[in-house]
Amino acid sequence: MPAGLYRALLTVAGAAIAIVLAVVISSVAISVAGASPEAAFAALFNFGETERAVVNGVTTMINRSVPLFIAGLAVAVGFRMNLFNIGVEGQYRIAAICAAFVGAQFSLPAPIQILVIIVVAAAVGGLYALIPAVMKVTRGVNEVIATIMLNYIAINLAAFLVRGPFTGERAKGQLTTSTPTLPESAWFPNLNGLFEMFGLPAPRGGGLWGFLVVAILLGVAVWVLLERTKFGFEVKASGLNPMAALASGVKPKKMVIAAMVLSGAIAGLIGLPEILGDKHNFGSNFTPGLGFLGIAVALLGRNRPVGIAVAALLFGFLDRAQGPLQFANVPPSVIAIMQGAIVLLVVVANEITSRMALRREERRAARQLGRDTPVEVAA
């Protein structure tokens, strides 16, 4: 069997076993919580009884997956350089509030308005990620420690800005604060027409976020950049062995800065699907935790855009099920248990299957070497 096919089959088998074990662990947790595992899993796949309910459920799942996919891409870029960018959480928070505030200060034709907001978000995220990158290459500060501390700064700075200098008009009786509302030229068109093409009703609320198209294009661009360009090779080489990369003419410190800034720029886009497609501002109740979930999504997707997309859809599917689970008297915390179990077991399975594939290749190489070595005949 070819080595590539063997490795692919091992990966699929390991992921399948990990998901089965995660289901078993989740069933135990559900039983301990006093609920029925059968009812819980039935609710998990319950999208509703009407077409509109099903459309709303699918829309919610995809909308939840879009920012998680972008977050996974941001983390994966860092992982390729052997950098653990935990600062994605802070980078997207500070980028989102700055982009929302800047975008509300002027009104231009829609494509230009949206493009400016995207550029601002990417620039702010990249610049904020530049801080730990410079600290690492100039002073040897571990990026994990630096980004964790910068997360706290960014989260609290965003909270201060949304209640202070960046605050917009608040309606009477409104408990939350937010930046000024974006002009309609900054509202990203939705993709509800996709449902109408198949004769289905349009989803409620903001509908299917049009930023899904940007996310797909971003995933393709990241794949091409990391897999088909000199930059991607240099990033991977510098991450695997900085000294060997330096000997071959690659500057590892330069690549650390480039990879970290690129990771931060992608992270800056995480909050835009919600801002441009739904709320049209950054509020004090803005969705938190997307950066941390992006780490799990990247690990689950093995740092590949296609795998990250599948992992993001899985997390979106599980998050969507929180409502139906509550109707089935199942604690919503079960979703977090399932997500954690799946990620942990898949990561372990990936490590085991990688070692199995490596040992198989080593044995094949040893046998081939034995056949190619001439046997000396004694005189």
pLDDT tens figures, 235-293:
999 998 999 999 989 999 999 999 999 999 999 999 999 999 999 999 999 999 999 99
Please count the residues of the chain. 379
User: Taking residues 337-342, what's their average pLDDT?
Assistant: 84
**What's the pLDDT at 206?**
79
Q: Nearest CA to 299 among 239, 350, 356, 223?
A: 350
- Torsion, CA 95, CA 157, CA 183, CA 129, rounded to 10: -10
Element (H, E) at 276: none
Distance (Å, whole) CA 204 – CA 194: 14
**What's the pLDDT at 363?**
86
Query: Residue 378 pLDDT > 70, yes or no?
Result: no
| SS3 of residue 177 by DSSP | coil
Q: What is the pTM of this model?
A: 0.92
Q: How confident is the model at residue 230 (pLDDT cuts 50, 70, 90)?
A: very high
**What's the pLDDT at 376?**
57
Per mean pLDDT, which of 37-41, 167-171, 215-219 is the most reliable? 215-219
User: Taking residues 201-213, what's their average pLDDT?
Assistant: 90
The structural domains of the chain, with segments of one domain joined by +, span 68-312
Positive or negative: CA dihedral 213, 218, 221, 223? negative
The predicted-structure confidence for 277-292, as pLDDT tens digits, reads as follows: 999 999 999 999 999 9
Cβ contacts of 368-377, under 8 Å, gap ≥ 24: none
- CA triple 260-266-270, angle to 5 deg: 130
**What's the pLDDT at 375?**
54
Q: How confident is the model at residue 379 (pLDDT cuts 50, 70, 90)?
A: very low
| SS3 of residue 328 by DSSP | coil
Distance (Å, whole) CA 180 – CA 93: 16
Q: How confident is the model at residue 4 (pLDDT cuts 50, 70, 90)?
A: low
User: Taking residues 64-86, what's their average pLDDT?
Assistant: 95
- Bridge partners of 178, per DSSP, are 283
Phi and psi (nearest 5°) for 206?
A: -75, -10
Distance (Å, whole) CA 113 – CA 184: 10
The domain defined by 68-312 folds into ABC transporter involved in vitamin B12 uptake, BtuC (1.10.3470)
The predicted-structure confidence for 104-155, as pLDDT tens digits, reads as follows: 999 999 999 999 999 999 999 999 999 999 999 999 999 999 999 999 999 9
**Distance from chain centroid for Cα 59:** 18
User: Taking residues 6-16, what's their average pLDDT?
Assistant: 78
Question: Exposed, middle or buried by CB within 10 Å (0-12, 13-18, 19+), for 3?
Answer: exposed
Per mean pLDDT, which of 3-7, 24-28, 96-100, 331-335 is the most reliable? 96-100
